[in-house]
Amino acid sequence: MLPEETYMAAQWLIEPQYRSDFHRFIRDGESSESFYHYVDSNKSAQEAIDMVLRKEAERTIDFARQLRHIFREEE
């Protein structure tokens, strides 16, 4: 689950008419064609998507480090 503060900060970069599509994209990884075209042509929307993807990547890396630590302790 994406941290609320990251989602809120990213959401404000999205034009209001696309926020439900943005939410769907974040939740499901899918959205409308019009949303994809909007993101392709809007730097703020691209920044919002980048912000979310970076946070998810950080969380994945942190999780991998935790797992590595757990499995090293079991050896």
Helices 33-41 and 43-74 cross at an angle (nearest 10°) of: 100
Does the global pTM surpass 0.85? no
H and E: helices and strands count for the chain: 4, 0
Residues in the chain with pLDDT < 70? Answer: 74-75
pLDDT of residue 2: 78
Average model confidence (pLDDT) for the chain?
A: 92
Q: Which residues contact 47 (CB under 8 A, 6 or more apart)?
A: 13
